[in-house]
Amino acid sequence: MARAVGVVGAAISLILGLWTCFGFSAICIGAGILQMLFALLVLMVEAPICFSWFQASRPIGIFAENRTFFQRAIVYCILGIIPIAICFGLSTLFGSGLLFAAGVLYGLMGLGKKADREQMARQAQGSEGPQAGSDEMKSNLIDNENTHLR
Protein backbone atom coordinates (compact mmCIF):
# COMPACT_ATOMS: atom_id res chain seq x y z
CA MET A 1 0.00 0.00 0.00
CA ALA A 2 2.85 2.39 0.77
CA ARG A 3 4.32 1.74 -2.66
CA ALA A 4 0.96 2.48 -4.32
CA VAL A 5 0.54 5.69 -2.33
CA GLY A 6 4.10 6.63 -3.28
CA VAL A 7 3.51 6.07 -7.00
CA VAL A 8 0.11 7.78 -7.14
CA GLY A 9 1.31 10.57 -4.85
CA ALA A 10 4.39 11.15 -6.96
CA ALA A 11 2.33 11.31 -10.16
CA ILE A 12 -0.09 13.80 -8.60
CA SER A 13 2.81 15.73 -7.08
CA LEU A 14 4.44 15.96 -10.50
CA ILE A 15 1.30 17.45 -12.05
CA LEU A 16 0.68 19.83 -9.14
CA GLY A 17 4.34 20.88 -9.16
CA LEU A 18 3.92 21.91 -12.77
CA TRP A 19 0.79 23.81 -11.76
CA THR A 20 2.74 25.58 -9.00
CA CYS A 21 5.32 26.72 -11.55
CA PHE A 22 2.67 28.84 -13.26
CA GLY A 23 2.56 31.14 -10.22
CA PHE A 24 3.79 34.72 -10.10
CA SER A 25 6.18 34.29 -7.19
CA ALA A 26 9.77 33.20 -7.81
CA ILE A 27 9.80 31.31 -4.52
CA CYS A 28 6.70 29.33 -5.50
CA ILE A 29 8.19 28.57 -8.91
CA GLY A 30 11.27 27.18 -7.14
CA ALA A 31 9.06 25.15 -4.81
CA GLY A 32 7.19 23.76 -7.83
CA ILE A 33 10.44 22.74 -9.49
CA LEU A 34 11.61 21.05 -6.29
CA GLN A 35 8.26 19.31 -5.97
CA MET A 36 8.57 17.94 -9.50
CA LEU A 37 12.16 16.79 -8.88
CA PHE A 38 11.17 15.05 -5.66
CA ALA A 39 8.22 13.42 -7.44
CA LEU A 40 10.54 12.11 -10.15
CA LEU A 41 12.89 10.75 -7.49
CA VAL A 42 10.06 8.95 -5.71
CA LEU A 43 8.79 7.56 -9.01
CA MET A 44 12.31 6.39 -9.81
CA VAL A 45 12.45 4.52 -6.50
CA GLU A 46 8.89 3.19 -6.32
CA ALA A 47 8.25 2.44 -10.02
CA PRO A 48 11.61 1.80 -11.66
CA ILE A 49 9.91 0.33 -14.74
CA CYS A 50 8.86 3.88 -15.71
CA PHE A 51 12.53 4.84 -16.01
CA SER A 52 13.95 1.68 -17.59
CA TRP A 53 15.24 3.77 -20.51
CA PHE A 54 17.25 5.97 -18.11
CA GLN A 55 20.42 4.10 -17.11
CA ALA A 56 21.19 6.26 -14.06
CA SER A 57 17.92 5.16 -12.41
CA ARG A 58 19.08 1.58 -11.93
CA PRO A 59 21.72 2.29 -9.22
CA ILE A 60 19.30 4.65 -7.46
CA GLY A 61 16.64 1.94 -7.40
CA ILE A 62 19.06 -0.69 -6.12
CA PHE A 63 20.32 1.67 -3.41
CA ALA A 64 16.76 2.50 -2.33
CA GLU A 65 15.70 -1.15 -2.20
CA ASN A 66 18.47 -1.86 0.32
CA ARG A 67 17.19 0.80 2.74
CA THR A 68 15.00 0.00 5.74
CA PHE A 69 11.42 1.22 6.04
CA PHE A 70 12.43 3.82 8.63
CA GLN A 71 15.07 5.30 6.34
CA ARG A 72 12.57 5.54 3.51
CA ALA A 73 10.04 7.09 5.87
CA ILE A 74 12.46 9.79 6.96
CA VAL A 75 13.50 10.63 3.40
CA TYR A 76 9.93 10.75 2.07
CA CYS A 77 8.74 12.90 4.97
CA ILE A 78 11.59 15.37 4.44
CA LEU A 79 10.90 15.44 0.69
CA GLY A 80 7.27 16.16 1.45
CA ILE A 81 7.92 18.99 3.89
CA ILE A 82 10.44 21.07 1.90
CA PRO A 83 8.12 22.37 -0.88
CA ILE A 84 5.35 23.08 1.64
CA ALA A 85 7.76 25.06 3.79
CA ILE A 86 8.99 27.09 0.82
CA CYS A 87 5.59 27.98 -0.67
CA PHE A 88 2.47 27.12 1.28
CA GLY A 89 -0.41 26.62 -1.11
CA LEU A 90 -3.03 24.05 -2.03
CA SER A 91 -0.98 22.55 -4.85
CA THR A 92 2.15 22.12 -2.73
CA LEU A 93 0.14 21.03 0.31
CA PHE A 94 -1.75 18.32 -1.56
CA GLY A 95 1.06 17.18 -3.86
CA SER A 96 3.83 17.06 -1.28
CA GLY A 97 1.38 15.91 1.37
CA LEU A 98 0.92 12.67 -0.56
CA LEU A 99 4.68 12.11 -0.51
CA PHE A 100 4.59 12.77 3.23
CA ALA A 101 1.72 10.25 3.56
CA ALA A 102 3.82 7.61 1.80
CA GLY A 103 6.58 8.34 4.32
CA VAL A 104 4.15 7.90 7.20
CA LEU A 105 3.01 4.55 5.78
CA TYR A 106 6.62 3.39 5.47
CA GLY A 107 7.18 4.48 9.07
CA LEU A 108 4.22 2.40 10.19
CA MET A 109 5.57 -0.55 8.26
CA GLY A 110 8.89 -0.08 10.03
CA LEU A 111 7.18 -0.35 13.41
CA GLY A 112 6.07 -3.86 12.56
CA LYS A 113 2.97 -5.88 13.19
CA LYS A 114 1.03 -5.41 16.40
CA ALA A 115 0.81 -8.43 18.66
CA ASP A 116 -2.58 -9.98 19.44
CA ARG A 117 -4.32 -9.41 22.77
CA GLU A 118 -3.33 -12.74 24.33
CA GLN A 119 0.34 -12.33 23.48
CA MET A 120 0.42 -8.83 24.97
CA ALA A 121 -1.29 -10.11 28.14
CA ARG A 122 1.26 -12.94 28.47
CA GLN A 123 4.10 -10.47 27.98
CA ALA A 124 2.69 -8.13 30.64
CA GLN A 125 2.28 -10.94 33.18
CA GLY A 126 5.70 -12.44 32.53
CA SER A 127 7.65 -9.22 33.00
CA GLU A 128 6.50 -7.96 36.36
CA GLY A 129 8.59 -5.13 37.73
CA PRO A 130 9.94 -4.80 41.26
CA GLN A 131 7.39 -4.92 44.09
CA ALA A 132 6.57 -1.79 46.06
CA GLY A 133 8.37 -2.84 49.26
CA SER A 134 11.44 -4.45 47.73
CA ASP A 135 14.99 -3.15 47.93
CA GLU A 136 15.00 -2.42 44.19
CA MET A 137 12.37 0.29 44.69
CA LYS A 138 14.29 2.08 47.46
CA SER A 139 16.11 5.18 46.50
CA ASN A 140 19.80 5.70 46.98
CA LEU A 141 19.31 8.97 48.85
CA ILE A 142 21.40 9.78 51.89
CA ASP A 143 19.74 9.04 55.21
CA ASN A 144 19.94 12.33 57.13
CA GLU A 145 19.66 10.63 60.55
CA ASN A 146 22.95 8.78 60.11
CA THR A 147 24.92 11.66 58.60
CA HIS A 148 27.21 13.48 61.02
CA LEU A 149 28.29 16.99 60.36
CA ARG A 150 31.77 18.00 61.43
* pTM for the full predicted model: 0.71
pLDDT band at 145 (very low <50, low <70, confident <90, very high): low
Interval 67-106: pLDDT, tens: 889 999 999 999 999 999 999 989 899 999 999 999 999 9
Average pLDDT over residues 40-59: 84
**Is residue 27 a contact partner of residue 46, using CB atoms and an 8 Å limit?**
no
**Is residue 34 a contact partner of residue 86, using CB atoms and an 8 Å limit?**
yes
Among 41, 110, 42, smallest CA distance to 73 is for: 110
Measure CA 105 to chain center: 7
